[in-house]
Structure 1
Amino acid sequence: MTTTATRPDQGRARAAIAAKTLRTDRWWFPPLVTFVGLTAWVTYATVRVFMHRDFFVPAYHYLTPFYSPCITDRCGEAAEFGTPLPSAWFIPDAAFTLPFLLLFRLTCYYYRKAYYRSFWLSPPACAVPDAHEKYSGETRFPLIFQNIHRYAFYAAGVISVINTWDAIIAFQHDGKFGFGLGNVILVVNVVMLWAYTLSCHSCRHIAGGRLKHFSKHPVRYRFWTIVSKLNTRHMGLAWITLGTLALTDFYIMALAAGWWPDLRFIN
């Protein structure tokens, strides 16, 4: 026979606290910074995607990632995969890839946390009440579609391959090897995109999930350890890639618009 000790305060009603939170630090600052940062980036990216100009430098074959692969009639020399779409103003020149990239980012585990807290205030911070009266998690429409993140990862991998190809062919200048500041920016952007994509939680599960014995799968185990190290930096890489994407696009736009010439090291 066992007995259960009774705490002195057991059965008492919870103290009535009028304040919504007892936190006295600046808990609102991180979600505010996130809100401003994401809003600024989305605004810039949306404007650039629908500008339909200054996205390609033919002399060095610099193509901004916002327009890759370019598949409308406007693309000209930038069309590496043909031009199956018309050049209507409301059709992005990279219409086949942008929806998948947007889906990959929107369903990313870090970005979910970021915009849940900063845009939806659900909740805005730890120990701060949710701004909504009801909470159903990601079990109802439309948030139930967050579960397709694992499939969006595959599309993001294919797009990263395309971005890598864009960076490689940019080293060809007049049929010879060429190297400039634009090449450095393109390569850095691709490396960061690969790091962000591979640091994805879905990639980590694909690498090592459902394995009962790592010793029997040394290659997958090695890849899993690498991905796991990247995964700890997933949040930082999410922000870094937003920066490298914007920087790459802005630099190529400046060259295409004739604001300044590319700094060339070779040819």
Structure 2
Amino acid sequence: MTTTATRPGARARAAIAAKTLRTDRWWLAPLITVVGLGGWVTYATVRVFMHDFYWVEDYHYLTPFYSPCITDRCIPEAAHFGTFLPGWWIIPEAAFSLPFLLLFRLTCYYYRKAYYRAFWLSPPACAVPDGHKKYGGETRFPLIFQNAHRYAFYAAGIISIINTWDAVLAFHSPQGFGFGLGNVILVGNVVMLWAYTISCHSCRHIVGGRLKHFSKHPMRYRAWTFVSKLNVRHMQLAWITLGTLALTDFYIMAVSAGWFSDLRFIN
């Protein structure tokens, strides 16, 4: 076996021609990520620009993909905050929330790891060479926008409040108080969205950062401990919320389109 030395007197290293010595299926995780994220983005893009089947009048169900509905194409009852944007095809009904949610997800520490490895091969796995000859870091366009994650977190918190409001309104249909399977799905989605949002690393730093003595700030220490427990599950919550968002949207679309009726428990 031939060897190479990096500098005089340094210990020689083996000259290995293979790109990696890993014999396990290291490519499987990046492949699953490509399929999962690619499928979700495709579904979400189609739904956002479908401009239909987002509101169930009988039960006031509004899909989170169209909330808040702010174009003049919106059904009046679904526009809880007014319609102040033109209804051009290229403008989604939720033009206020979608850019910030996309920024929040794109700059999320877990998602950055996921798509860096899966889509950019940078690197595709541990002990596997980077797919690029050089890496300029996150100091130049467009990756410099990764530093906006904290500000995107604030926007995501506001949007989570709006989604919570939508879930509450869905209990009050034109017939009065009502409760059905759609309400369960909406509330479950909101709970998961809050869990994902506050499990964010930025939230953990905001709650407990810059403190030298936790003993002097017991409330912040309790909050930091709670957020830290969620933070351990940040990756799982990132995927779960993609699932709950798609499920919520699909269910409301199906009921709105008349594919099946909502299962009602009360009224």
Normalised TM-score (structure 2): 0.95
Distance in 1 of aligned mates of 2:23 and 2:251 = 43
Matched, 1:71 2:70: yes
Please tell me the root mean square deviation across aligned C-alpha atoms, in Å. 1.1
Any runs of at least 4 consecutive aligned residues in structure 1 with deviations exceeding 3 A, and if so which?
none
Shift of 1:11: 2.6
**Counterpart of 2:4?**
none
5+ residue gaps, structure 2, are: 1-8
**Counterpart of 2:121?**
121
Matches within 5 A, 1:1-267: 11-76=10-75, 77-267=77-267
Q: Secondary structure at the match of 2:265?
A: strand
Per-residue CA deviation, residues 158-188 of structure 1 (Å, 9 max, x unaligned), is 0000000000010012252100000000000
Per-residue CA deviation, residues 49-68 of structure 1 (Å, 9 max, x unaligned), is 00000000011000000000
Quick one: which amino acid aligns to residue 30 of structure 2? Answer: P
Quick one: which amino acid aligns to residue 72 of structure 2? Answer: D
Distance in 2 of aligned mates of 1:65 and 1:192 = 13
Shift of 1:13: 3.1
Quick one: which amino acid aligns to residue 147 of structure 1? Answer: N
Quick one: which amino acid aligns to residue 182 of structure 2? Answer: G
Distance in 1 of aligned mates of 2:72 and 2:139 = 42
Shift of 1:74: 1.8
- Count, aligned residues: 259
Q: Secondary structure at the match of 1:265?
A: strand
Distance in 2 of aligned mates of 1:177 and 1:132 = 57
Normalised TM-score (structure 1): 0.95
Per-residue CA deviation, residues 147-168 of structure 1 (Å, 9 max, x unaligned), is 1100100000000000000000
Q: Report percent identity of matched pairs.
A: 81
**Counterpart of 1:7?**
none
Distance in 2 of aligned mates of 1:199 and 1:146 = 18
